[in-house]
Amino acid sequence: MVRAAVLPEVGAPLEITDIELPDPGPGQVRIRLAAAGVCHSDLSLSDGTMRVPVPAVLGHEGAGTVLAVGEGVTHVSPGTDVVLNWAPACGSCPACARGEVWLCANALNGSADVYARTAAGVDLHPGLNVAAFAEETVVPAHCVLPLPSGIPLTDAALLGCAVLTGYGAVHHSARVQEGETVAVFGVGGVGLAALQSARIAGAAKIVAVDVSPEKEELARAAGATDYVVASAGTAREIRALTGKQGVDVAVECVGRAVTIRTAWESTRRGGRTTVVGIGGKDQQVTFNALELFHWGRTLSGCVYGNCDPERDLPVLAGHIRAGRLDLGALVTEHIALDGIPAAFENMLAGKGGRALVVF
């Protein structure tokens, strides 16, 4: 038996309880978690914004050590430190054939599987494939990436989602170039990673935007040159900071219609707006035909940072070892499993960066 945070049904409180894991079967790996980040996507799964089979163990951003492997697993062995990949590419769907592995049509198929049971014998699903809100988990081998050397195992959990997403939004989706100006909306875990990534890209001006004035110090430490407390005048403030032009690139990490619209309005004519935040279907963003023509801006969605984890993890490791990327600076709170509900509440209130469950 291991302790886990179980979502019994959509909208219900998480239950911290014992679950029973099977031994790894063919093509599977059992992992002892070192840490798991509490991501806004977990909140979106728990409240029904995103669908997930229930009951489920949530948590998709994690790192740990391999305990055992099933038949046919050769790329890791007991004792290997690993990062969990919650969206493994199948390699055969049309998106994968195009090289767009972040859009894999089959990446989340494993979430429908039964992977464990409660002490009462109730079947459990692995939320977003990996069920990282537990002391241990059993996952398909293709959900496991060996951790590059020189990376602290606990902090490495953030590589599983926040860092790949924030880094990819800047480098792959928005393609920020040296000397450009950037605005990042939302100073949570992904937003902080995007700020650091904009600095790594050589952005000349990096404007952080958030509803909380208390996050300014956190944002500036991550690379922000300017800080704007979100208001009805945010777009005007950003244009004033950029010679009345607007930024070259806006990265929206919140997933709310008003924030997406503001990010768009903060972008210069011909600029690029990348939407990373996951919003609900009721969040409708509207544009008129004339402004689409006149402003000539590009608006794009961004899934998992448009990243290929196998390709990008070694690149991120290089930045970490060189001191350009600070994983620890993204974490504002270390918690236990029973601290996850409070971390959800903090996210709803716009507080803090990334809460990290440490086992």
Mean pLDDT of 295-300: 97
Q: Is the pLDDT of residue 49 over 90?
A: no
Whether the domain at 2-160+326-358 and the domain at 166-304 fall into the same CATH topology:
no
Burial of 333 (0-12, 13-18, 19+ CB in 10 A): middle
User: What's the confidence (pLDDT) of residue 352?
Assistant: 78
In the chain, the largest separation of any two C-alpha atoms, in whole Å, equals 63
User: What's the confidence (pLDDT) of residue 347?
Assistant: 87
User: What's the confidence (pLDDT) of residue 185?
Assistant: 98
Which band of pLDDT confidence, cut at 50, 70 and 90, is reported for residue 350?
confident
Look at residue 295 and give its three-state secondary structure: helix
Mean pLDDT of 74-84: 98
Of 308, 118, 325, give the one whose Cα is nearest residue 201.
325
User: What's the confidence (pLDDT) of residue 37?
Assistant: 97
User: What's the confidence (pLDDT) of residue 50?
Assistant: 85
Range in 6-15, 46-55, 194-203 with the lowest mean pLDDT: 46-55
Please give the C-alpha separations between residue 57 and each of 19, 54, 311, in angstroms, as whole numbers. Answer: 10, 8, 28
User: What one-character DSSP code corresponds to residue 27?
Assistant: T
For the stretch 214-230, pLDDT in tens is 999 999 999 999 999 99
Strand partners, 125: 56
Show the CA angle centred on residue 33, arms to residues 309 and 60, nearest 5°.
45
The one-letter code for the residue type at 53 is P
Backbone angles phi and psi of 96, in degrees to 5? -65, -40
Please give the C-alpha separations between residue 189 and each of 155, 230, 296, in angstroms, as whole numbers. Answer: 12, 18, 30
For the stretch 257-283, pLDDT in tens is 999 999 999 999 999 999 999 988 899
Mean pLDDT of 233-256: 97
Q: Which two tokens stand for residue 326?
A: 């600070």
Note the CATH number of domain 2-160+326-358.
3.90.180.10
Mean pLDDT of 205-214: 97
Share of the chain above pLDDT 90, in %: 92
Do 102 and 307 form a contact (C-beta atoms < 8 A)?
yes
Q: Which two tokens stand for residue 197?
A: 């990534």
For the chain, domain boundaries = 2-160+326-358, 166-304
Mean pLDDT of 112-130: 95
- 100-133 core/surface letters (b: 16 or more CB in 10 A; e: else): ebbbbeebbebbeeebbebeeeeebbbbbbbbbb
Show the CA angle centred on residue 156, arms to residues 155 and 161, nearest 5°.
110
Note the CATH number of domain 166-304.
3.40.50.720
Entry pTM:
0.95
